[in-house]
Chain A
Amino acid sequence: MASTSLKFAIVGGGLAGLAAAMKIAEAGHEVDLISVVPVKRSHSVCAQGGINGAVNTKGEGDSPAKHLDDTVYGGDFLANQPPVKRMCDMAPQIIYLFDRMGVPFSRTKEGLMDFRRFGGTLHHRTAFAGASTGQQLLYALDEQVRKWEVGGKVTKYEGWEMLSLVLDDHQVCRGLIAMNLQTLELKAFKADAVIMATGGPGLIFGKSTNSMTCTGSAVSACYQQGARYANGEFIQVHPTSIPGEDKLRLMSESARGEGGRVWVPRKDGDGRNPRDIPENERWYFLEEKYPAYGNLVPRDIATREIFQVCLEGHGVAGENQVYLDLTHIPAETLTRKLGAILEIYEMFVGDDPRYVPMRIFPGVHYSMGGLWVDFEQRTNLPGLFAAGECDYSIHGANRLGANSLVSCVYGGFVAAPSAIDYAKNVERGNTETNGIYDAELKKQREINDQIIKNEGGENQYKLHEEMGKIMTDNVTVVRYNDRLQATDDKLRELQERFSRISINDSNLWATQAVPHARQLWNMMQLARVITLGALNRNESRGAHYKPDFPDRDDENFMKTTIAEYSDEAPVLSYEPVDVSLVEPRKRDYSKGKAAK
């Protein structure tokens, strides 16, 4: 290879991965882009609301400093502040760049970009393209990267899944092993640096709002090879999602903003048509418990209350669901104000929410935790970088709406030059790389062979279901130490049973059984990181809530949880948080935001 052109491998083709690929290609280097699905189908498409950036076109005096304050306050002071500041400073430029790429953002009368308000801020800071902003941003980067593909700088490996890193004998990342999902062929990708951009691990919880590709499998592989995983216990659960047989789909908070009421029948297991249940036999539990704010209590409180009601068996028909009722509002008003989101409900559930109360339940939505990175998106393994939801760096203990898209792009835009800088300056010395690729290939092939050979009668999809259920029951909204411990015991039992799964597919061509088994094992490893991180954190902060430790404890826990792999159990340690820019203060949305 010519000394001027370096080779990078990027794993994941969502916003973060494509952002990094574009920057590297533009700098004249080469990219192998590895993705389990065609990159245009990545999970970034699911983001609806918008992208935050303090562009201040509404005469409100918004600024990146205020965006920073909102973000670290919303994150309950668990994020290191310097990278958050850098992201907020960069956000307006990121939005303008997408505007230049032709994203059809909604416009004002003057033809400028329009901005709307979102949760956790008082400013119009969110640029949006219809009700599918994530899709539109992803497509813009997909188009730019396609141009670089035509230009020969980017080579896509779509339908390939990363199995492991290739590390040299100094624990330096020199590439990775990926598997072709049709042929099951394994291939070593040599690279001067690797960027992980694989998104979140929602499937650990069985059903979530995430896409079916969001297993966290590749990140878990990095963790098992020595990469540190940070703040795993911080999982955002959105209060209102639409329970489906296959997944949970998001129902926007605006339904409650427009007057939606949350209730369950007063009689447990009442199977009557909701419209036949008289008013005095309905329990409007949010309104009853929080008379001042009613259904518009902050997101984490709403989530906790709904979850608790169902856990105690009061859910509709005894199931994990409550009514979100809009039927008291005139249908034409609903159509005008909420049409697009109500259509989603109608499409997937079949009921028209203007006439039939929606059935909703909190849904696992986002992981604030992820691979540990420094302020330049470097993991602790030299040569390995991370960006987007799979890194832990921006959102602290809770993510604000419309901050995910901007953090993905920011992560990619920082990781790319950082990786280039590393690759240009790294001293390889006389490290032996002969044989490391073959050795890792052999190791991964043996794991596959073992999976194919196993005959114990356990069904991997049922194991996945069991893991999802116990994780959802015990490691989401309300956490008790005894249940967390029991969850870890169960996870170890599932790991033990994993060795006895039969893949039930005699046809290995394009089989989904072998990849799923690989993902499942990796999910189980991360599940333990999440569970034990939660067990060890005896406080309540952001999305992490323990009734036995209801207050935030800055003295002991304003710290980043670091998990490192060992064969026995994740080894946890804690690192101080850099709060040098915004002084920590109590988070209290009930009285409006406290003054700085």
Chain B
Amino acid sequence: MNTDQHREKRRLENPSAKFKLKIQRRENQDASATWETFELPYRRNLNVISALMEIRKNPVTVEGKSTTPPVWDMSCLEQVCGICTMVIDGRVRQSCSALIDDLLLESNSDTVTLQPMSKFPNVRDLKVDRSKMFDHLKQVHAWIELDGSYDLGPGPQISNEVAQERYAYSRCMTCGCCLEACPQYGDDNYIGPQAIAQARLFNMHPTGKIEIEERLNGLLGDDGIGNCGNAQNCVQVCPTSIPLTRAIYETNRDVTVNALFGWLKK
């Protein structure tokens, strides 16, 4: 949001009555990718999801060919669950918050192109399997160890400053944008920014700190933090503006300190 002055949002001027949605299709993981184009009536407040919902009601391509309804994931539609992420006009983002008007304006064309994320197994059409990201959270022990969930009173006192910094990391919805954009991520060779940031989230907590070694150990393997190539694409594409490069920097520092400390302990 612009904070200082009145700025009209740029809109498509005299939008044409119709626009096209070009969708990469794939019948299943083993099938090869094909393209299908659909034509839809333009409405100002359409987002990519509602355009897909229109197609689903009547899956006929621009050439008049009946086809199967495109498959994609969606849930909250408020850019907070992360499930509807895909590559739209070449850029990875959530499809619920991608407005057709903005996209046509930006590309200066009559077509919006949809592809599945490329760094995860493609299930069908625009749907991918990101379960690996949750495995990465296991690898870095992304949780606080509790003695039990029974009543033990409040947690430790924490300054609002630290709470706010942690909140920024805790907004990660495991959408995978950062991994899609990362040149190092792929083929299991790098755990990637999301898990590192989640390790940082818990390492910053007074109770979480107790387990810091467990978490750092998860980042020291072959796929560990050392693979970051500092391209900084991750922060560019993160939809919730998580300071991912800062998490990587600070976690690297923790690794160094911990390694030194560990060596002194021997």
Task: Check if A496 is an interface residue, CB within 8 A of chain B.
Answer: no
Residue of A nearest to B74 (CB): A212
Q: Are A213 and B75 in contact (CB under 8 A)?
A: yes
Taken together as a complex, chains A and B put the C-alpha atoms of A147 and B214 apart, in Å, by 13
Given A46-B76, A143-B144, A351-B9, A245:B43 Cβ within 8 A: yes
Q: Are A245 and B76 in contact (CB under 8 A)?
A: no
User: Which among A97, A102, A107, A244 is the interface contact of B208 at CB below 8 angstroms?
Assistant: A102
Least distance between B94 CB and chain A CB atoms (Å): 10
Residue of B nearest to A413 (CB): B149
Q: What residues of A have a CB within 8 angstroms of the CB of B243 in the complex? A: none
Residue of B nearest to A505 (CB): B68
Taken together as a complex, chains A and B put the C-alpha atoms of A96 and B205 apart, in Å, by 15
Given A96-B153, A507-B68, A40:B79 Cβ within 8 A: no
Q: What residues of B have a CB within 8 angstroms of the CB of A511 in the complex? A: 68, 71
Q: What residues of A have a CB within 8 angstroms of the CB of B83 in the complex? A: 37-38, 41
Task: Check if A486 is an interface residue, CB within 8 A of chain B.
Answer: no
Given A43-B76, A146-B142, A96:B154 Cβ within 8 A: yes
Task: Check if A347 is an interface residue, CB within 8 A of chain B.
Answer: yes
Tell me the B94-116 residues at the A interface (CB within 8 Å). 96-97, 99, 101-102
Q: Are A23 and B75 in contact (CB under 8 A)?
A: no
Q: Are B2 and A348 in contact (CB under 8 A)?
A: no
Task: Check if B252 is an interface residue, CB within 8 A of chain A.
Answer: no
B123-166 CB contact bits vs A (8 Å, 1 = yes)?
Answer: 11001001100100110011111101101111101111001101
Q: Are A158 and B131 in contact (CB under 8 A)?
A: yes
Among B14-22, B44-52, B228-236, B254-262, the stretch that binds chain A is B44-52
Q: Are B78 and A344 in contact (CB under 8 A)?
A: yes
User: Which among B28, B76, B151, B160 is the interface contact of A97 at CB below 8 angstroms?
Assistant: B151
Most buried by B among A105, A211, A245: A245
Task: Check if B207 is an interface residue, CB within 8 A of chain A.
Answer: yes
Number of A-B contacts (CB under 8 A): 214
What's the tally of chain A residues with a CB closer than 8 Å to chain B?
A: 81
Q: What residues of A have a CB within 8 angstroms of the CB of B102 in the complex? A: 350
User: Which among B43, B46, B59, B80 is the interface contact of A46 at CB below 8 angstroms?
Assistant: B80
Task: Check if A45 is an interface residue, CB within 8 A of chain B.
Answer: yes
Taken together as a complex, chains A and B put the C-alpha atoms of A103 and B46 apart, in Å, by 35
Q: What residues of B have a CB within 8 angstroms of the CB of A136 in the complex? A: 167, 170
Q: Are A335 and B167 in contact (CB under 8 A)?
A: no
Q: What residues of B have a CB within 8 angstroms of the CB of A144 in the complex? A: 143, 146, 149
Taken together as a complex, chains A and B put the C-alpha atoms of A348 and B95 apart, in Å, by 11
Q: Are B157 and A105 in contact (CB under 8 A)?
A: no
Q: What residues of A have a CB within 8 angstroms of the CB of B28 in the complex? A: 507, 509-510
Least distance between B18 CB and chain A CB atoms (Å): 16
User: Which among A37, A129, A346 is the interface contact of B167 at CB below 8 angstroms?
Assistant: A129
Q: Are B50 and A347 in contact (CB under 8 A)?
A: no
Q: Are B163 and A106 in contact (CB under 8 A)?
A: yes
Q: Are A348 and B158 in contact (CB under 8 A)?
A: no
Given A146-B134, A335-B3, A513:B76 Cβ within 8 A: no
Task: Check if B246 is an interface residue, CB within 8 A of chain A.
Answer: no
A73-115 CB contact bits vs B (8 Å, 1 = yes)?
Answer: 0000000000000000000010011011111111111111110
Q: Are A211 and B75 in contact (CB under 8 A)?
A: yes
Q: Are A45 and B173 in contact (CB under 8 A)?
A: yes
A345-363 CB contact bits vs B (8 Å, 1 = yes)?
Answer: 0111111101100000000
Task: Check if B87 is an interface residue, CB within 8 A of chain A.
Answer: no
Taken together as a complex, chains A and B put the C-alpha atoms of A43 and B159 apart, in Å, by 30
Taken together as a complex, chains A and B put the C-alpha atoms of A332 and B1 apart, in Å, by 12
Tell me the A168-193 residues at the B interface (CB within 8 Å). 182
Q: Are B77 and A101 in contact (CB under 8 A)?
A: no
Tell me the A28-42 residues at the B interface (CB within 8 Å). 37-38, 40-42
Task: Check if B253 is an interface residue, CB within 8 A of chain A.
Answer: no
What 10 A-B pairs come out closest when comparing CB atoms? A245-B50, A111-B157, A143-B143, A99-B155, A104-B167, A510-B124, A246-B50, A107-B160, A100-B155, A41-B81
The 8 sampled A-B contact pairs (Cβ below 8 Å) are A43-B76, A45-B81, A100-B146, A101-B155, A129-B167, A158-B131, A246-B96, A506-B68
